[in-house]
Amino acid sequence: MLPLFSELTLLLPYTDIKMTLFGVAVHSLVKKAKKNSIAMKAKQNQPVYTYTSPASCGASTLSIFLYGDHEDWHPKHPFIRYIYNKPDAVIGLNAGLVNYPAWQSVILYCHMYNEPFAVTEYAEQSCRTAKRFIPSDHRPYPSLRPA
């Protein structure tokens, strides 16, 4: 499945892309990683997949990392602030935004820090429901910083 993301190198020529995958499944995979497995690379902070497009197509490079230290992405995790720096964008694949409370901190972070945020959903009904629950105005939001 990871090689499918190689298409990004053709769509974004002359760009180096560093993608980090998060989630319960990623956490479980990294936690159970066996010696010499691809998932073991994640524990060593190495990309689990790398692709460079042909020079004639812009020679973009995609490096995919697995973040397995936590089951979710949260801006308070030291990983976000110190290891990988601020992301250029946050993308939720088949996110189910309303069904998973862990998305609340992600949406809040993206709103507060003007971070590009995109989502794919698996069903039109999920999109309609999410639209009702995600704020689109400029109301003040609570802080992500500890009190």
Question: For residue range 76-106, what is the model confidence (pLDDT) as tens digits?
Answer: 665 555 545 677 788 888 777 777 777 777 8
| Residues 6+ away with beta carbon under 8 Å from 123 | none
Whether residue 128 is predicted with pLDDT greater than 60 in this model: the reply is yes
Residue position matching structure tokens 């298409």: 7
Instruction: Work out the pLDDT band at 120, boundaries 50, 70, 90.
Output: confident
Give the separation between CA 49 and CA 61, rounded to whole angstroms.
11
Mean pLDDT of 62-87: 71
Residue 15 in contact with residue 22, Cβ under 8 Å? no
Alpha carbons within 13 A on the beta-carbon side of 83:
14
CB atoms within 10 A of CB 71: 15
Question: Rounded CA gap, 141 and 107, in Å?
Answer: 11
Round to whole Å and give the CA distance between 21 and 23: 7
Instruction: Quote the pTM value.
Output: 0.74
